[in-house]
Amino acid sequence: MPLPGACLNIMEARYKQKGYGSISNPERFCNQDFKNLKHYCLIKGVRYVDDMFPPDAKSIGQGILRPTDLAHVKWLRPAEIAPDPEFVVDGVSRFDFGQGVLGNCWFLASIGALTFQKHIFNQVVPLDQKIKENYCGIFHFRFWRFGRWVDVVIDDKLPTINGRLIFVHSKDPNEFWPALLEKAYAKLSSSPTFQKQERCH
């Protein structure tokens, strides 16, 4: 007798190495293809801006910042925030990052746990991404959600106040993988796009 519901879906996804939603062929969130989008930006010589999760107040969400603080938010790319930005500086560890104003310690605990499982971390955070080499302001991350892997594309515009990141940030001011990972998770889990996910397929 087959297992019901979510359990069956999880088992099927684990054993289908090349199936849709596997790590080798993740589902594209809202049908955004990272490689094609990056290739297009490189050919055109432009920096990517994600119209599915735009750098504006709606992407931050309601009630997270006071209106006076929200009015001072500027969305900046890493090169506008740090003197020598890198995706990863000297490897990854649970001591790399700190909490911002959001108070999402559960998220920090989750990515801290990921750093102990390097093979899973490398699946979630593709480490071949660079800020300086073939750079066009686009990144992607993979999340295991509802029994399948989902690939989420983002731009690298991050919310700041007075030039400082307001959410998760690395303790090294030149390192940006934690802030970008948080942005990708925010896009997946709380954006209007995710809430209307069925329309994206």
* Cβ contacts of 76 within 8 Å, gap of 6 or more: 157, 158, 160, 163
Q: Which of 155, 143, 156, 147 is nearest to 185 (CA)?
A: 143
Average pLDDT over residues 104-115: 77
pLDDT given at position 104: 62
| Percent of the chain predicted with pLDDT > 70 | 79
Strands (E), 7-147: 27-28, 74-76, 97-98, 138-145
Residue at 201 is within a domain: no
Residue at 143 is within a domain: yes
With tokens 């969130």, the residue in question is: 29
Active site residue 105: yes
Report the C-alpha gap between 13 and 20 in whole angstroms: 8
The tens digit of pLDDT for each residue in 34-49 reads 999 999 999 999 999 9
* Owning domain of residue 86: 5-196
Catalytic residue (choose from 7, 30, 41, 105)? 105
What tokens does 172 get? 């090294």
Q: In total, how many domains does the chain have?
A: 1
What tokens does 58 get? 């709606």
pLDDT beyond 50 at 2: no
Instruction: Please answer whether residues 191 and 184 qualify as being in contact, where contact means their C-beta atoms are separated by less than 8 angstroms.
Output: no
Residue at 50 is within a domain: yes
Higher confidence at residue 95 or residue 133?
Answer: 133
Band of residue 5 on the pLDDT scale cut at 50, 70, 90: low
Residue at 123 is within a domain: yes
Higher confidence at residue 19 or residue 163?
Answer: 163
